[in-house]
Every structure is written in structure tokens, then in C-alpha cells.
Amino acid sequence: MRMKLGASLALVAAVLTTNGLFAAKIEVTQDHADALYRVGEETTFTVSVKDEGGGLVKSGKASWTLDNFGTEKLGDGTADLAQGNPFTIKGRMKEEGFLRLRVSSSTNSVVWGVGYDVGKIRQDEPCPVDFDTYWTAEKARLEREVPLDPKCVRDEKLDTKISECYRVNFATFGGKRVYGFLAVPKNKAKAPFRVRVSVPGAGPGVISLATARDDEMCLTMNVHCFEPEATPAAQRRHMEEQNAELARKFNLVNKEAYCAIAGIAESREDYWYHDVMLGINRAVNWVLARPDADSSRVTYTGSSQGGGFGLILTYLNGRFTRTFVAVCAITGHFGYKQNRKPGWPRLIQSQRPEKQATAERFAPYFDGVNFASRIKSPIRFIVGFADGTCPPADVYAAFNACPSCDKAIINAIGSPHHWSTTYSKMRKANQCIEIDAWLREDTPSCCRE
């Protein structure tokens, strides 16, 4: 099911130009309030270019393009603001997907998207027939070959008023370890505690508690295999050093390449996320084995890279009772085969040309669409209709593939990859559910694994 908006949201872009003058504000709306259309229907966009006081600009030009969030150009043009402001742009899609509008003035630009037959969006690349047997075997091999060797050390400097903080790390393949933080409520009378798991979005990761609650144990795990540093600057330097080493080891095109693309063109086991995701999965199991953890109430929340890991871990672990994933990365690696932009990290296209065929062979084992296709527990998605990092068609491909009988997706109209502001506006307008409240519900679901 989809959580529909009651009204169209307008995205407003406002920035300062280098000469100190306010840039134009560009607002976009569409003629269907929910931004959803059927294939072949025409969309009419209304664009307003405003000055710093909110008045309509009377001079200058605005250029625009339409495409399918990919390589298919569907229209372009230039509007003379002296001749008409607001102005309209019309376009349509001949197949399911998302129609993207990009508008630029001399000082600003904005991206907008609307969906076409979104319930039919799929990823054409088939899932490997040995997907389940491979991951079952890899989990068993890790337990067989690598002792967990858990480390859990209290760090009182990171304690909050309501929780104790522990630095945790666990062994995984290749002599690596995965690192994170565990918050445990100080009020033991509320034990056993609900458990909440998260993985951060892409970047340097967290260096302290991401979340602390008085009635939940909160586990946050980084994807980097080094001890979290004391400061954000040191953490970023360490990440950059790790990435540079991976770029050298795997001869990556981009010397600044993030670890999310490293090793996939060699083997499944060489891919960076392989060891990390299995290590984090066993970290979750270690937490759930604690006597103060309630293993019947286990939730996950994450965005972008963390959203992709929500699909991965919900499948690998099998014990999450509710999962929330926003703008899922590591999802839709094969969108390019349907002429649309694949999701971050563009896993196949990021490899050298001579390596792409091998990367294409192994990428399906790490695609959020395939993990989602096996999730039957309750789950909620958020998709940004203007998200150029994790395009909406790739998120919808995962949502549509998910067989859960208790699933829903929140359509964040006008939202780029940073979706939280749009979601907050929707929530205040009672146009979507309160995700945190939903995660904390104890009502039974119709879903059965």
C-alpha cells in the first residue's frame, strides 16, 4: 500500500549568490496532488520563479529539461519570465517509472519528479537462483571459521542521563572487525528492553551514540573496519585512508572512491560489504542473546546506506519485527538496463570498463531489491520523488518486490535525498504516519515468516 499525500507539496530553493544578492526561489507543483499518473497520461507542471520578497520575477529566463531519471530525454525548453511567470511544462511517460523535471534560472535550480504506474516498477535483472543458499552458507561459514570474539567496553564519557554507553566490536572474515556503540537504559526495571538497530548513511560513520532511549537498547554499527575516532575530523581522515588503500588494492578509477564499490569486480567475497554485513548480522545476534534484551521486539531504522542495510539485515537476520528504511541505497544496481539511473553507489558503472562484466555477475548478491523480495515482516519505506542519489524507481522496485503483507511506502513529493525536512512537513500536516511511534508499537502483525 502507499501512504498518499492529501495535497501537493511545493519545493522551494533559496540560496545566496556570490555577489551577495538573493537567488531566485523556484517552486514547482503538478496537476495531480499525489504526483501519481498512469502510463500515457500527461503531467502539467507549474513553475514559479520568485524574488527574495516572494514576488514573481518579471525578467530573465529559466531553462528546463524532462527525462526518465536516466538516459531518455523527454523534452526541453526555455521560458521567458517576462512573457509569463508562473509558466507550465507538459510531459508524459510511455512506460512505468518516474518523470523528472529539472529547472534552472541564472542563480538557482530545482529537481522535481512524478511517478507513472509506480506499482508496476520492477528490476528486470533476475535474482540468482542460489541467492538464499549462498547467504545461508556464508553465515554458517563465518560462525564455523571465525570466533565472534566480542568486545564490549563501557565508555562513561559517552553516557547520557538515561543510558550507559558501550563501545562494541566483533570479528568477521579477513581478520577484520566491525565497530559500533550500544546504548543500554540505566533504569533496569524496564528490562528486558526492546532492541533498535541502525547503520548510518554513507560517510565517515558515527563516533558516539546515535540514539539513546530510556526503554530501548540501541545498537549502531559503522561499516568501517576501524575503531571509531575521537573527533569527526579524525574519523573522516581514517575513512579516507581506508578508501585510498582500497582504491590502490582494487585499482579503482576514482582515488577518492568510497569503500562501497571496492572488490565487487573480483569476487563476492572480496566485496567490502560482504564481510561487514555478515559481521554486523552477528553483532545483532550477540545483542539479542543478552538477558536484558527482548528478542521478541527488534526494530531497525536507517536511511540511504542505512536504508540499504535495513533490507540486508532484515533478510539475513530474520528476527526483526519491524523495519523502517528511507531512500534505500545499495538498491537497484541494474536500473541502467532499463535506461534509468541506478541507485548509489552505481556499483557496476563505478568500475573500470574491463571490470564491469565481472561486477555485473556478482552485483545481484548485494542488491536491495533481491533482499527486499524475501522480507515478509512488517516494513515501511520512504521514497524521495526528486532523489538523484537513490532514484525513486529503484526504491519502488524494492518495495514492489517485497512480499510482506504489512508494508507501506511514504511518497515524499519534491524530496531530494535529504528527505527529513519533507517528511517533517508531511507529518505535521497529518499526511503520513509517525515512524517512531509505529516502530514502538507492540500490536501483532498479520505477517508470518
Domain boundaries, the chain: 2-120, 131-439
The per-residue pLDDT for 268 is 98
pLDDT band at 23 (very low <50, low <70, confident <90, very high): low
Task: Extract the C-alpha cell encoding 83.
Answer: 512573457
What is the reported pLDDT for 15? 33
Flag whether the pTM goes above 0.95: no
At 12, the pLDDT band (50, 70, 90 cuts) reads very low
- The residue written with cell numbers 562501497 in the block is 260
Q: Is residue 20 over pLDDT 60?
A: no
- Residue 412: helix, strand or coil by DSSP? strand
Per-residue pLDDT tens digits for 278-288:
999 999 999 99
As a dihedral over the C-alpha atoms of residue 364, residue 254, residue 343, residue 263, rounded to 10 degrees, the angle is 20
Residues 416/386, Cβ–Cβ less than 8 Å:
yes
Residue type, 422: T
Task: Provide the pLDDT for residue 256.
Answer: 60
Of 361 and 1, more confident = 361
Homologous superfamily, domain 2-120: Macroglobulin (MG2) domain (2.60.40.1930)
Average of pLDDT values for 45-60? Answer: 94
Per-residue pLDDT for 16 more than 70?
no
Q: Which CATH superfamily is domain 131-439 in?
A: Alpha/Beta hydrolase fold, catalytic domain (3.40.50.1820)
| d(C-alpha 229, C-alpha 204), whole Å | 10
Q: What is the pLDDT of residue 30?
A: 98
CA-based torsion, 313, 223, 324, 374: positive or negative:
negative
Residue 2 has pLDDT above 60, yes or no: no
Does 95 have pLDDT greater than 90? Answer: yes
Q: Residue 446 has what pLDDT?
A: 66
Average pLDDT, the chain: 92
Which percentage of the chain shows pLDDT scores above 70?
Answer: 93
For helices 305-317 and 131-145, angle between their N-to-C axes, nearest 10 degrees: 80
Residue 250 has pLDDT above 90, yes or no: yes
Q: What percentage of the chain reaches a pLDDT higher than 90? A: 84
Answer yes or no: is pLDDT of 140 > 60: yes
How many other C-beta atoms can be found within 10 angstroms of the C-beta atom of residue 367? 30
Between CA 38 and CA 263 the distance in angstroms is 40
Please state whether the peptide bond connecting residue 86 to the residue before it is cis, i.e. omega within 30 degrees of 0. yes
What mean pLDDT comes out for the span 194-204? Answer: 96
Enter the C-alpha cell of residue 40. 500515457
Q: How far apart are CA 344 and CA 160, in angstroms?
A: 34
pLDDT above 70 for 11: no
pLDDT at residue 329 tops 70: yes
DSSP 190-252: GPSEEEEEE-PPSSS--SS-S---SSEEEEEE-SSSS---SSHHHHHHHHHHHHHHHHHHHT-
The reported pLDDT for the residue numbered 448 is: 55
Diameter of the chain by CA atoms?
72
Four-CA torsion 329, 379, 222, 283, nearest 10 degrees: -140
pLDDT-derived band at 211, boundaries 50, 70, 90: confident
Does 237 have pLDDT greater than 60? yes
Strand partners, 114: 99
Residue pLDDT, tens place only, 157-185? 999 999 999 999 999 999 999 999 999 99
In this prediction, residue 429 has a pLDDT band, given cuts at 50, 70 and 90, of confident
Determine the straight-line distance between the first and last CA of the chain, rounded to whole angstroms.
Answer: 19
Q: Is the pLDDT of residue 69 over 80?
A: yes
Closest CA to 334 of 375, 373, 370, 380: 370
Distance of alpha carbon 237 from alpha carbon 44, whole angstroms: 47
Judged by average pLDDT, the poorest of 192-196, 319-323, 421-425 is 421-425
Residues 403-427 have pLDDT tens digits of 999 999 999 999 999 988 888 888 8
